[in-house]
Structures are given as C-alpha cells and as structure tokens.
Structure 1
Amino acid sequence: MALAMLKNPTVPQHGWQALVRAIEQLATANDLADVIAIVRSTARDISGADGICFVLRDGECCHYVEELAIGPLWKGKRFPLTACISGWCMLNDQSAVIPDIYLDPRIPHDAYRPTFVKSLVMVPVKTTKPIAAIGTYWAETREFSDDELALIEALGRSTSAAIAAAQLRQSLVESEHRLAMALDAGGLGAWELNLGTCELIATPAAKIMFGADPDAPFGRDDLLAGIHPDDREAAAWLFETGLSRDEEYRSADGSRRLELRGRMVTDGDGTPVRVTGVVRDVTERHQAKERLESLRSELVRVARLNDLGAMASALAHELNQPLAAASNYLHAAERLMDRDPAQALSAITKAEAQFVRTKDIIQRIRGFVGQGKSERTAEDAELVCREVLELARMTARHDDVAMYLKADTGLPKVQIDKVQIQQVLFNLLRNAVEAMGDSATRRVTISVTAEGDMVKLAVADTGPGLDPDIAAHLFQPFHTTKEGGMGVGLSLCRKIVEAQGGKLWHEPGNPGATFVFTVPVTEQAATS
C-alpha cells in the first residue's frame, strides 16, 4: 500500500505554541511524576498523534509508565530493551522515525498487531545517558515533515532538561531532609548570618533554643536577644568574626546553656560574606557536670571523714594533752590563789594557752571535715602543706614517722580548691606512711617548687618503693594493693588534680616512692 502523505499546516504552528507552554511548565516541575504528567498531555498536542507513551529505562527493561491514546497500548508493562523500539532508542541514543511499522525490522510486529498503531516516532530522553523515551503513534501510515520531527525532538530535549532539574531538586530536598534528620538526632539547630545585610536564616529548632517563635521572622537582633545580657557582647563579636570553637552562653533568662559553633565563609577574594553555624542546648550536660562536681566534693568529704575515723585515737591523744595540762594548771591556780596570787594568775594564763591550743586543733579538724563550697581561690602553697602536715603528724608521731616540708622561697600563689588539694596531700601522706611498713628509716618529705606557670608538690617516702607492674596500674579505678582497700584513692586524687588544671604521676625513688602533682598559679602570678 502506498504511503499517504498527510499534511496539516496547522499542526506545526499549534504545536510550537503547545511546546512553549510545556517548556514553561517543565521548568517548574518538582519531580519525575510532574514531568511525565506534562509530557503526557503535551506530546499529543504538539504532534497531533493518536497516542503517546512515556517509557522509563528500568535496568535492562523498558517500563511503559504512562500513555494517552485512542486505544490501549502497554501501560504498566515491561519489556527487554532489545525487544522494543523504545529500548533501541535508549541503547543507541537515537530517534526512530518509522512511517510503516510493518516494513521496519526493528519493530516486534506481533506486539503491535493488537493495537491501532501503523506508524510512529520515538525519541530518547537523556541526562548524561538515555533514561527514557517518548513515543508518538498514528493509526495510519504516514511520512513526517521536518517541522513535526523538530517539535517531537524538542519536547524530548526539554524533557531531558526538566528531568535533570527535577533530579537536582529532589536530591537537594533529600539532602535537606537528611541534614534535618541529622540536626534533630544531634539536638542541633542551624543558622546562617549574612554579614553584608545582617539577614539571618535559622531553623525552627534554632529559633526555639533562642526563645523565639519557630514560625516568626528571626533576625540577628532576635538571636542576640535570646542570649544573656552579660554574654551578648562576646556572642556578637563571635558572630561577626566566625566561631572557630565551641562556645557556651547562657540563655536570656539564665535558665539554660547554649553551645554555638560555626565558621566564616568567604568569597573568591577571601572577603568574609557570611557566618554559618549550629546551636545546641547543653543545659543537661552542664547540670550533669555540676552534679558530678558536687558528687566528687561529697566523695572527698566522705574520704576525709574516713581518714579522721582512722585517726580517732591519735586525735583523742592530741586533744587530751592540752585539756589535761589546762586542768592541772587550773587546779594549781586554785591551790595558790590564797597564798600566792601571782603564781595562781600565771597558772591560769598557762591553762588559757592550752585551751587555745585545743581550739586550734578543733578548728583545724572542722576545716578538714567541713563540706564547704567547692571553688578555686588564690592560696599560699606552702601554707596549704603546713596545715595538712599538722593533722598528718598526729598519726605519724604514733607510727614513729618523721615528716618534713621543703618549700622554695618566693613561691607564687596557686589557683586551687584548697579543701580538695589538701585531701590529695593527706591521701598521699597516709599512703606514704603505710608504704614504709617496717623500714629502718621512716621519713616523708613534702617538696614545693615553682616551675613556670605551675607549682609542683612532691611527696617522697623512704619505703621499699613500688614494683613496676604495680606502678603501671596505680591510677586505675578499683585497682588496689591494700587488703580491704577499694582502689579509688589514687584514681580520685588524679581526677581532682586534673579537674584543677594539673597532673599527678608516680616517680620511683631511691629509696622509696615519690608521688608528684602540679597545680596552676594564679593568672596574676603567671603574667608577672
């Protein structure tokens, strides 16, 4: 049968208008489903075809996902790429123009016989490589003008660009979704400050952390208003210069702690253009830190009580001596009152001195046991050591242990929690006394020296020293060489020292063992 030449001069003009509308619609398509819907209706308008199909490549198959035709075609079906004309287009990245399907060997004739199709044009749709095809079908055999083919191929190219844009938008949406999930999982809010316009973009979570309505406009001033007045100046400076490390600020009402981290973004010339960052509510972490410090202080206090329990007999002896002496002086004064008032007054004065001595001992014990407020103050390191020695010597004298203090002159003030550092010293002195056992020479020496911005305190004994295997595990929690010991003493001591900016370690002595720790000097002493 001779091919009929069908000419309809209105189709190209109408088709170009329809193509322009389609391109405008494709430019705003959000996803592949939108693209397919637009192509489905547009393909027939621009071609005047009796049917169209949109075919997606699915691995090694062609998936006929959509159609609009005068009769049923293959919607929803899949065929091997090598078994259909759409697959040929995608494999060869070429359009197929077929005036008579029964004269073209590329067409699977048996598949087409039940349909109305007599001629067709199939064009590939690709991004980097063909991923789809658009088929236009006619119920008659026919030739196709250059304008008709140009329209169909232009739709294919427009569809390719639309799919690429939709994939990019979808990828961006997915990335934003993953970022939102990551921010939510980490309890983070994100923000970005434009340094030129001072415009600020923030996620709803970030707005909430700064005490703002998540749906309300949010600017730089709103962000700063969410920070405590005493912290705003520092925060404003960091927002403008870029956050290079974690910084904590109080919320406006002081009830919460906010941690901010960000970085500066520059343009091609290196000029700062914006600061991007994240914010996290670290109130619970801050409270946990405070609770930990409170528990540590309580543990130190309990440890001091335990130490005093072990010192009970020594303390009784220390208190008994001045009290007994005072009692004797008072009895003597009573006897001398009538015959020698001057001697009686002297005895009363001596009794008073013994009471003062008793008071000093009791005050020293109260200071050692008292819970007090855990805070760092400027202290005289030598005086701190002397006060601890006064208590430690009460027990040491009963164990025939001599205790000495060697301190450099002109030592700088140290910035410490005095009570906690005294507990460390007392623990080290007690350990030294216990370690010497039956040693012929029983002597403990505290040395205090200045080293740069630190003061070093060393407690050395004349015992047998420590086995290297034991020394390697000294500071591990619950590791002990003492019968009935819990193994928390040295571990706790190290944590106390490190919490105050110092270090604690062991050095082998000759003879004996030496435990050394450092504490920081005050800022004023460090800069002078």
Structure 2
Amino acid sequence: MRLLNVPKDLIGDDRLSHVLSASERLTCAASVEEVVAVLRDTARAAVGAEGIAVVIENEGRCSYVAEDAVSPLWQGQSFLIDHCVSGWTMRHGETVAIRDVWLDPRIPQDAYAPTFVRSLVMVPIGRPVPFSALGAYWPDVRDHDPDTIKLLESLARLATIAIENARLTQARNRGAALRTTQNRILELAVEVTTLNVTLDAIVREVEALSTSGFVGSIVLLDEDMYHVEHCAGPSLPDAYTDALKAIAVAPFQGYQSALMAVADIMIDPRWSEFRDLAVGHGLLVCWSVPIRSAQGALLGAFVLYHRELREPLPADIEIINFVAHTVGLIVHRARTDSAIRISESRLRLAVDHADVGFWDVDLVHDTLVWPSQTKAMFGISANVKVTLQDFYDGLHPEDRDATIDAFLAAAYPERRALYEVDYRTVGREDGIVRWIAAKGRGVFNAAGVCLRVTGTAIEITARKAAEEELRELNDTLERRIVQAIAEREEVQQTLRQSQKMEAMGQLTGGVAHDFNNLLTPIVGTLDLLLRRGVGGDREQRLISGAMQSAERAKTLVQRLLAFARRQPLQTVPVDVAKLLSDMGDLVARTAGPKIKVVVDAPENLPAAIADQNQLEMAVLNLSVNARDAMIGGGTLCISAGTVLVGDGHRSKLPKGEYLCLTVADTGTGMDAATLGRAVEPFFSTKGVGRDWSGSFDGAWAGITIERCSHDSEFARFRDESGAVVAAQHDRASSGFAHCRGVRAAIDARDRAAGRR
C-alpha cells in the first residue's frame, strides 16, 4: 500500500490538522465510497468553505454523491458532463477557481441560482484520467487564496492514492470473494427452500461479486419450451420480467450455444423484435449461457445484462459458467421434487377438505400408517408413532368386538367384505370419546393372500350428537312445553304483583300525605296546650296521651310514606347481633309469660346498612304476630347467622355468603294460600274485632328489597315465610360499606294510648 504524504509546503497552516486527519482516514479507506465519506466529513473544515461537494462521473453524467454545506446544494442530482463545471474539471484534468459564478460561462446558472454559491474551487480526482471531482463553495465573490487551492489539490491527491490502494486491495480480495461466492452458491443449492428464493439468492451473490456492475437473471422455460416459466432477476425492473413471461422464446434460441454474447442489443438482429423492450429499460448488452439438466435437457439460461456497451471479462465468464452448471442441477431436482409434492398435495387437499383421514394396515409387516388427522381421531399427537395395537386399544369397549370382526371380514380371503362400520374411540391422551365412520377394503395378491387393508375414516361425533339431541328433543317436547307455559305464567304473575304493589304504593302515599297535613295542626295545638299547662292534672294527662297518640300517628304516616317511597330512611351501620340482644327483654315483656323467648346471635356477625328503628319495629311486629299465633304459649326463637347461597336458590340472590335473620315460632303456622300472601302489604289473618295494631301483618309489609353489587357480601333477613331483605357488608373493609340496603316502614301502634 502506498503511503499518503501531505506536502511540506502546507506545514504551519492552521488547517493542516484537518488535512492530517483526512490523510489518516484515507489510509484506512477500503473503497471509493469510504473515500467519498472522508472527503465529505473533512474537506469543508480543511479549506474553510461554506460548502463542499463530491462529484463522480457515471456514464457521461456528473452525479453529486455527497455534500456538506450550510444549505442544500445538489446531492442526489446528476448533470450532463458537458453542462457543469465539475465535468469540465474531469474532462480537462485541471483545477478550476472561479471568482464569480454569475460571470463564468461554464456554470449552469439554472442549477446555481437557488443556492448560496457565488464563488468556487473545483479540483479533479483520479489519474491518469480523472473520474471524480471535489468542489468547495463560498457565498461571496472572492479571489481564492493559493493556499486554499493547494489544500484542496492535496486532498484530491490523497483521495486518488487512497482509491488506488483500495482497488489493489479489492483485486487481492476478488479471488477469495470468488471462492466464497462459489461456496455460497453450493450451499444455496442444498438448502431446503423454494426455487424462487434460491435462484434470487444466487443472482444476488453473482451481482455482488461483479466488477462490471452487470444485472443478472435466470430464465426457465416451460415444459413445451415455448414460454418463459420463471425469471429470477431481483435487480431487473418488474415490468421487464413480467413482459418476458408473456412472450414466446424466440430470442432465447441462441441459448443452445455455450455462450451467446450480444454486444449491442440496438443493432443485433436476434433482438429485432424485442429491442424496444430491452432498450426501454436501459439494457444495452446481453450475455447468456444455457442451463441444462444432468441429462442434457435445456431448462433455460443464465442471462447477464449491462447498461453500457462492454465486453464480458474473463472473471465474469468464469462465474457465469459455474452458476449455469449449478443452477441446472438445482432446477432439475426442484422440478422432480415439485412433481412429487404436487401429487401429494392434491391427495392431501382432497382428504383435508373432505375432513377425511386415511389408514393403511400392512398385514405382511404388521405396521400401521396413520396421518396426523387420523391420529387425532384416537386422541394421539401427530408426532407419536402408532402400531396396530394402538388401533385396538383405542376402540370403545362397547364397540371393540364388532369393529374387529368387520376388519377381519375385510381381510379374510373367502369373504373380502367391505369394511364399513361406525365405532367410538377413547382418546389415549385426552380421554375424549369420539364417533368414527370407517370404510375400506383388503388388497390381495394373486395367491389370495391379504397384503394390506386400506381405507378412510371420518369423525362423525357432531353428527351423532345432533342425532342424539334430536331424539332427546322429541322425547322431552311435551315436558318442555309445559315448563315454558309455567315460566310464562310465573312472569305474568310477577308482573301483576308488581303492578298491584305500584298502585297500592301510590294510594298509600296519597292517603299518608293528606293525613300528615291533618296531623300537623293537631300536633302543634297539643304541643301548645302542654307548654302552657292548660287545665288541671287530669286535663294535662289527657293532653299528654293525645300528644303520644298523635306522635304514633305521625310515625305511622312516615312508615306509610316509606312504603310509598316518599319518606327517606335513616340508614346507618347496624350491629345485628347487639340489636337482637338488646331487644330480648322488650320482646319477652311483649310476648308475655306464656312465651319463651330465645335469642341466638353470634357476636362476630357482619354489620348491615339499615334504618335501625324500622328494623327494630320489623322484629317487634314479627314477634307480636308470633305471639298471637301461639295462643296456648310456646317458644319464640330469634336467630342470626351466616349461610351460603348457591345457584337456583329461592331468594334468587347471587351465590355467595350471606347473613340470615330468622324469626321462628311454634304456633299454628300458615297454609299454602296464606303463605303465598304473607308478604303482601296490609294482609292480615286476624279475625274481626282483633286488634290489628296497625302492623302490616304480613311480616315484611312495606319493606323494599334493593340489590347491591355482586362483588360485595349482603346481610339477609328472613322470616318463617321465606321473605328476604338484603343489606350490603364489604368483607374487605374494616368499617361499614355504604350502599343502598333495607328500606322499611313498619308501625307498632301504642295500644294503651288507644284505650284511653
């Protein structure tokens, strides 16, 4: 490698360091592209310009391949070599220093007008014939410093030497690259992949190795040798390769020779009919070598195109012959394999689309062949080997004997029966029971010996299930009709009950509202009389009793309004266990000496969100009703505890853990008709003349059930009739959950005041 020396006359220049840096990097450059990159990165700083550009001559045009400037110049553009100053520099091999670009005739003014450039220095690169140029640009009119010009020329000389060194290195590496490419092509030949991918990869390998820059293509002919069947040309225009597939093979008749070289498509008579197609895509030269199979049959051709007129190089011919021979072997093998695959694919598609699995029992070698689809019918994975014993073991016990008998009849020489049977299998790996319909025949030799039994199998589980479902539907049709009618009647009854409750609520609310208006002056008057002490002691007692009755009436109004949804409830967290414990004495006094009262409520019960006063009155009213039902005495049990509610429970609550409050007695009980109306508002079983007490004798009259979140726990309260009210308790919370819960309006009228 030649050393890159910086001229000594530049020593002492402040910009020398940039040139030295460029020299070091150019020494390591291994290609023209790397040299261009070094110039782009260092030239501007070395000469103090506002912009630099690297230009390369390419087929009579100057291509601006790299730049570094304060604003865009011409990177990515190309100009005719005779119409730009860089072309003049390369053609004459001279440095050009222009003081004012507007005044120089060599400058294409249209190209320079949009840029900042007013002056420039352009130096040629390459020897003996320059093939590139380096330009430096300034935004003002100036006389260029000789030192600046020398710096640019030094960079150009350094770049020239670097390119020569890179080409020497590339020449030494070409032999190794050729061997590597040949090895890679051989590897591609044995890789398991599609033919198109393999041929495209081979063409790319050859194109990458080419020093002349040709474009490769592999053309394959169809079996009748009339049309192009395939064209692998990754670098060719798609329109060109598509057009080749639509034309006859006339231009490819020359492929019969060892090498057909068309030096100029424009004038070669063999391309007269297709000249416009090739030239229209910029293809001027064509070299081709026939591709043959090992048996000598013509398969196609390996074709190389070039976009400029040139002769093939010896290195190109060497790689062309090698590729043509290798591709012949690849294509022949691929077509043979393809024919086999197509045959197998047709059979497989027919079987798969029909959801059919096949089977083949070789009785001579005692082997069984099942594809994956048939294995799946026996619950066996696709990669598991099977034997005839797997077939026997996979049969359902109830179908095993009949299935084996049918198989033996098909293999018996004297019968040679058609094997046609439906049987069940039990999956070996998944245990699933499947229905299979199998059909097949034996294959016998001339001596009458059965060699094999082959056939097909179809899974008919869905069909059998549909048949069974149809039978079941027919058997249960009457029962399902009765059930549907019952469900409809239940829905209608629920709707009627809802409408009745809505009407009753509206009526009750209206009456309670008017009654409340009447009570207001009465309560106010009685309160005034009490405060002023009107009358004597007896009168004051009467006024006090009247006041208590008025307050009771006011409480009754509030309950009626609550029933009608017009009075808000005062809901708070309620400790149900403590509430029942505190009410024990009150209930015992109310029930009387003949009634034994038992309270059973564990202390660790969850709390409920409820109106405590309404809940107390509900329990008290239930207790009074229980007392009235036990005329001769008995036991009244008030208990609370947690219960688990599952699917289908009569409460219709979501399944989970709930709090159940029960009031039970040993009284006369209720018949079915009474039980059905027990929770209706204002319903009573007390006879005429009995003290109704203002309670809604149906234990839960006036209580509304509102569901909360399914993700929460509920407290549930139940009387002996099974009526339910739910209030929420959040299991995860240390306090009380806040949600809609019990709504109640239950009255207990003061009997003593009523007797006064």
User: Please, what TM-score do these two structures have when normalized by structure 2?
Assistant: 0.29
* Structure with more contact order per residue of length (Cα contacts < 8 Å, sep ≥ 6): 1
Larger radius of gyration: 2
User: Please, what TM-score do these two structures have when normalized by structure 1?
Assistant: 0.40
